[in-house]
Structure 1
């Protein structure tokens, strides 16, 4: 039964059109000196003021990061869910583990706020930064971080009182710094390197691929355009926001190095930020930092890196995981015309050095992948809306390649026309 007559007007939804320009919501640059009274500045040297500004820059960046993450979840994810623009699986892929990043950075904000004195100054941040950078690998909160010299005879002579047992059964005793990281028990206790940042950055390739695919749909495109033209977005698209955590991660070494540069030599932060007992830029191979973790009746001493060195360690771990996942992502998209093209080296690859579009001497576009041990030449093939990479010839092991540097602009028979550009790297 229908209540609609032949004369009933059809429902018309006006298509999206770009609105008149509206003021963009911009973030005002805020300086530490603008947040304190003039009297606070009077008692500080220029270097001390610069150090306070550097610490405040670290803090303010965390505040803005959390604001952006909350905006992504509320304005983009929740809206696309309520409007049924994307299904649950698509939302989970594009906004993967974003919620878990927020408490991690709120923790650092709380620490920095707690360290700030009544007059607005912050004296020491090194110990808190060191502990915060270690929170993502320890399932228990740190009791403290101990630093000192590691004697050649073994660390037990230095600090003593090492835990006698773990879970009342297995023995833990640190005697050789070289064998420490290989200790099977430690590997059992420490979680795998799949913390929030590793897994989030690993998923970015799948998220970007899916987002680009969904942008072809009118409803998705319409929603994202409306958001980008709205003041809250600051003219940034969704992917710019989703890439904010990764961009922030790689900035930590620079931010901490700037604070370290402005920190007096005798200050305790030198030890925590350099992990080298105050030796700027030099890491003594026999210096040690131990994270002390209390688990039930047991006190565990675990060797760790601190400050800038720990930042570099995290970034290296994330890059390694992301690189391996990216490599496997493209291997899974390879399409073979016959079984002879399935070279056994392809399945063993863990690193994709570079990839990009080239042309052969016939002008045909080819998509080339240079893995660590093998070169794969393909062409893009789309079936049922799914993009893949169809091999055009048998893969070539790197050992069989004859490489020659062809000057830019020069064309030779049998060579690729052009070269990899900066945006065609792996």
Structure 2
């Protein structure tokens, strides 16, 4: 009966309904009033018996009608009804849409985010996700010598301490060897091809590649000396024979000043180099250490050799045949360290002199006292009474006050005051509270007194230039006073009474 009424009902065009002139009425369901239509649609949604082929024409027309019905019902009963089932469960139009060729291509493109290759027809090269270098090194030895032997009760207390010192010498060499392998495999060779020019690579790494065979040689020789019970009898003879090879560190250590300057500049100004350093630090092989810690390891371990050899010598009896070799090797290594200190000081002095930029006089491009200097006796950061920081360098023949400045895209040291020759310099210690701080409104109002202050005087023809500096703490102040007084010649330490 209802179907007959529907057939006799004339069709009324509505803007919300699709154009049905080209189809028959039997292919569509006439929309009911809002309540009834919604109930009818919900009943149809819940029915699981009827299955429609998505590829059939009836499925397409049914889907269009359903979407139209949903939009009309939602607009008319937005405040009264709420959908309980999500629309994404509809299998008519959704299944056709998600199986279409454009969507499949989109899926393949999105899969690029998971590290998969792009479509085969693409000519792009595969983008590789960064992975930390797979460097397999054995963990560093943290055992004592007693843990490596079985019958420890056969040795007296003094011999155990002696063997522990010899074992520490060997494990120190093994740790340095591992650090050098990390430098070569993960830093030296990768940066040889990227991020650094040939000159920068030479400045940063110098002759680090030649150091690994040197320390491997000592480790292998100490291993050959080890007896079946785990003891080593005569390490002094091996160390004496090996110690001249340490002269290769003279070139390496004297280059560290330039290497550190380049390292800091590249770390701050080159994003690619900074990212490389960060990735190295976060990798498992680095033990959370910075790259500079590995580059500075040969110098720091060099300073441990006299301590280790002295400890072995003190635990060795005077009648022992190895005593002569231990004493001779100590003399040889200390001589090498003195040569390294001298070369390093001269190289650092030359590097600082190159960075100085004189601006206190337009006609002056250099200072004779600074030019004739060969070493830097002391350096550090000091403040004046206006709370401004200065980088101060005490050369062997001049006292230089400078501030960092950028000139021609390079970090220079701007010298705005004339350098003071040490033979015309006087030093005066000031008590705490003798000078008031300035430079800010707070210090001016409170009249806060300065602590850890000393004064440097420059004697000229008929006057004195005075410079007051504030050290970081009492220890820093004493270090500065000691260095300044030792640099002044004995004939110039007394200030003339006419200038007091």
- Give the structure-1-normalised TM-score: 0.69
Match of 2:357 among 335, 344, 347: 335
Match of 2:321 among 268, 273, 277: 268
Q: Unaligned regions of 5+ residues in structure 2, if any?
A: 1-121, 133-137, 438-465, 484-500
**Structure 1 position 341, deviation (Å):** 6.1
Matched, 1:322 2:321: no
**Structure 1 position 339, deviation (Å):** 3.6
Q: Per-residue CA shift, 1:286-337, capped at 9, x if unaligned?
A: xxxxxxxxxxxxxxxxxxxx22122211111101110111111101111123
Matched, 1:101 2:154: no
Q: Which residue of 1 aligns with 2:297?
A: 244
Contact residue 141 and residue 171 of structure 2 kept, 8 A: no
Q: How big is the alpha-carbon RMSD for the aligned residues of Structure 1 and Structure 2? A: 3.1
Contact residue 350 and residue 374 of structure 2 kept, 8 A: yes
Q: Unaligned regions of 5+ residues in structure 1, if any?
A: 1-7, 20-24, 137-194, 275-305
Contact residue 341 and residue 394 of structure 1 kept, 8 A: no
Q: Distance in 2 between matches of 1:42 and 1:86?
A: 56
Structure 1's 48 and 81: CA in aligned 2 closer, same or farther, altered over 3 A?
same
What is the DSSP-based 3-state SS (H/G/I as helix, E as strand, rest coil) of the residue aligned with 1:117? coil
Matched, 1:366 2:390: yes
Matched, 1:79 2:190: yes
Structure 1's 93 and 340: CA in aligned 2 closer, same or farther, altered over 3 A?
closer
**Structure 1 position 347, deviation (Å):** 1.3
Q: Which residue of 2 aligns with 1:59?
A: 170
Matched, 1:47 2:158: yes
Q: Which residue of 2 aligns with 1:348?
A: 372
Q: Per-residue CA shift, 1:60-99, capped at 9, x if unaligned?
A: 11111111101111011222334x1222222221111111
Structure 1 segment 25-424 matched on structure 2, within 5 A: 27-36=140-149, 38-39=150-151, 41-82=152-193, 84-136=194-246, 195-216=247-268, 217-274=270-327, 306-337=328-359, 338-340=362-364, 342-407=366-431, 411=435, 415-419=467-471
Q: Which residue of 1 aligns with 2:110?
A: none
**Structure 1 position 357, deviation (Å):** 2.8
Structure 1's 213 and 308: CA in aligned 2 closer, same or farther, altered over 3 A?
same
Structure 1's 410 and 14: CA in aligned 2 closer, same or farther, altered over 3 A?
farther
Structure 1's 210 and 44: CA in aligned 2 closer, same or farther, altered over 3 A?
same
Higher RCO by CA contacts (8 Å cutoff, separation 6 or greater): 1
Q: Which residue of 2 aligns with 1:299?
A: none
**Structure 1 position 28, deviation (Å):** 4.6
What is the DSSP-based 3-state SS (H/G/I as helix, E as strand, rest coil) of the residue aligned with 2:255? helix
Structure 1's 213 and 135: CA in aligned 2 closer, same or farther, altered over 3 A?
closer
Greater Cα offset, 313-322 or 368-377 = 368-377
Greater Cα offset, 110-119 or 234-243 = 110-119
What is the DSSP-based 3-state SS (H/G/I as helix, E as strand, rest coil) of the residue aligned with 2:405? strand
Structure 1's 256 and 409: CA in aligned 2 closer, same or farther, altered over 3 A?
farther
**Structure 1 position 14, deviation (Å):** 12
**Structure 1 position 420, deviation (Å):** 5.9
Contact residue 340 and residue 394 of structure 1 kept, 8 A: no
- Give the structure-2-normalised TM-score: 0.59
Q: Distance in 1 between matches of 2:430 and 2:242?
A: 49
**Structure 1 position 374, deviation (Å):** 1.0
Contact residue 397 and residue 421 of structure 2 kept, 8 A: yes
Q: Per-residue CA shift, 1:95-135, capped at 9, x if unaligned?
A: 11111111111111121111112232111111111111134
What is the DSSP-based 3-state SS (H/G/I as helix, E as strand, rest coil) of the residue aligned with 1:264? coil
Structure 1's 135 and 28: CA in aligned 2 closer, same or farther, altered over 3 A?
closer
What is the DSSP-based 3-state SS (H/G/I as helix, E as strand, rest coil) of the residue aligned with 1:381? strand
Contact residue 129 and residue 307 of structure 1 kept, 8 A: yes
Q: Distance in 2 between matches of 1:133 and 1:64?
A: 18
**Structure 1 position 29, deviation (Å):** 0.7
